[in-house]
């Protein structure tokens, strides 16, 4: 995809970089380096790199990988706030043993999807993103499965993450027992691809796979014909 330098304001790049500069040492101290194997954390780092490089492929990869999962995260977080639990993906956000400031940093799950959509307006969508993210996600899942603590592991530091990217199921207290664990990991990747990555790719390809100037012209035309912003 053709690049259009200067599409991302310097202030946006500096703001997100400053946030990352705070988050990385805090997360390293609290959770350890393996926490950056989570899809969302890896996507945050790639997004900052993509902003500085104005690289549509990096931004598109992150959008394909996390837009739908982050919507699930937000729904789960909202459910916790209202007093009921969905998948318990965000239970750590209400854990008093984790410093409040550290938990507040995790609110990036809420604004990162919005930032990615804005960046797609600026840079356009790169159709190679589906396979690029699939390759990255597969690598992350395999590393998490073979080299990080499983669900139910008892660690000296309780803040060290276990069951990264849910490679042992959605219960951090014990691995899933429905099917063979190796088969589960394969089905996890297939399920993510079919339920999250592919649908997101198809939507982004339809609405953002054009040059950024064309996207902005289209957006201005919508505002012209809908001055109240109802579109």
d(CA 6, CA 60): 18
d(CA 82, CA 75): 11
d(CA 70, CA 115): 12
The DSSP annotation for 112-162 comes to HHHHHHHHHHHH---TTHHHHHHHHHHHHHHHHHHHSPPTT---SSTTS--
Residue among 60, 195, 202 at smallest CA distance from 136: 60
Residue indicated by tokens 């999250």: 196
Q: Report whether pLDDT(4) > 70.
A: no
Q: Which two tokens stand for residue 80?
A: 């916790």
Residue among 42, 69, 50 at smallest CA distance from 120: 50
Residue indicated by tokens 């356009």: 124
- Percent of the chain past pLDDT 90, that is, above it, reads 81
Give the largest Cα separation in the chain, rounded: 60
pTM: 0.87
Give residue 218's pLDDT. 56
Residues, the chain: 231
168 CB neighbour count, 10 Å cutoff: 25
- Dihedral angle, C-alpha 113, 117, 120, 126, nearest 10 °: 60
d(CA 38, CA 42): 6
Give residue 86's pLDDT. 79
Q: What is the mean pLDDT of residues 157-163?
A: 94
List, for residues 18-74, the tens digit of each pLDDT value.
999 999 999 999 999 999 999 999 999 999 999 999 999 999 999 999 999 999 999
Secondary structure letter of residue 174 according to DSSP: S
Half-sphere exposure of 215 (CA within 13 A, CB side): 20
- Percent of the chain past pLDDT 70, that is, above it, reads 88
Q: Which two tokens stand for residue 170?
A: 């959605």
């Amino acid at each position: 995809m053709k690049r259009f330098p200067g599409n991302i304001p310097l202030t946006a790049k500096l703001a997100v970089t400053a946030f990352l500069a705070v988050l990385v040492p805090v997360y390293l101290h609290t959770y350890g380096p393996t926490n950056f194997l989570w899809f969302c954390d890896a996507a945050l780092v790639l997004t900052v790199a993509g902003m500085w490089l104005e690289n549509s492929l990096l931004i598109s990869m992150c959008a394909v990988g996390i837009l739908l999962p982050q919507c699930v995260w937000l729904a789960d977080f909202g459910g916790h706030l209202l007093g009921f639990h969905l998948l318990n993906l965000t239970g750590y956000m209400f854990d008093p043993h984790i410093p409040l400031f550290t938990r507040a940093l995790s609110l990036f799950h809420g604004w990162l999807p919005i930032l990615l959509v804005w960046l797609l307006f600026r840079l356009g969508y790169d159709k190679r993103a589906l396979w690029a993210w699939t390759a990255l996600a597969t690598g992350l899942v395999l590393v998490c499965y073979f080299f990080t603590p499983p669900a139910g592991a008892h660690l000296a530091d309780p803040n060290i993450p276990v069951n990264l990217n849910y490679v042992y199921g959605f219960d951090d207290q014990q691995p899933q027992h429905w099917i063979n664990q190796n088969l589960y990991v394969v089905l996890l990747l297939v399920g993510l691809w079919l339920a999250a990555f592919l649908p997101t790719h198809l939507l982004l390809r339809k609405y953002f796979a054009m040059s950024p100037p064309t996207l902005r012209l289209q957006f201005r035309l919508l505002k012209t014909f809908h001055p109240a912003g109802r579109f």
